[in-house]
Amino acid sequence: MLAKIQGWRTSGVLGQLVRFGVTGVAVTLFYAAIYWPLATFVMNPNLAVLVAFVLATVVGRFAHGAVSFKGHGSRDRSTAVKFLVVQGFGFLLNQGFTWALVTGPFLHGPTWWPLVPAVFLVPLVTFGLQRNWVFA
């Protein structure tokens, strides 16, 4: 395990993961600060996911490009398109969690439930895709 971590450190993956984590926490908190009040007090939670995700995607595009993957890969039109594809997949994941946990036919849980996978699962999936495909 230590050898694997050393390999990540040497290849730059560990630094990217740490920067992605810090930046991702900030973007995720931004998303949550928009989603939760909208979903709880203003609109349907599925619509709140859309609004929060679009805003967080704009912030995340520049934050991850400038901080998380600084010096890794290119920043051209192709990168922007790939970033949007990955974010679209993340959006579908968040929308699916919101439907399954809050608005779907079974659970009808509180509006904060989808924030758990939005904070702990979706960022790991999008990190892998961004590092290995978007900013490769």
Question: Is the sign of the CA dihedral 47, 30, 22, 58 positive or negative?
Answer: positive
CA angle at residue 27 from 23 to 28, to 5 degrees? 115
What is the 3-state composition of the chain as percent helix, strand, coil, each rounded to the nearest 5? 80, 0, 20
With bands split at pLDDT 50, 70 and 90, how would you rate the model's confidence at 52? very high
- pLDDT score for 132: 87
Q: Please check whether residue 80 is in contact with residue 60, taking contact to mean a CB–CB distance below 8 angstroms.
A: no
pLDDT at 78 over 90: no
pLDDT at 60 over 80: yes
Close Cβ partners of 76 (under 8 Å, ≥ 6 residues apart) = none
Tell which residue, 99, 104, 94, has the closest CA to residue 31: 94
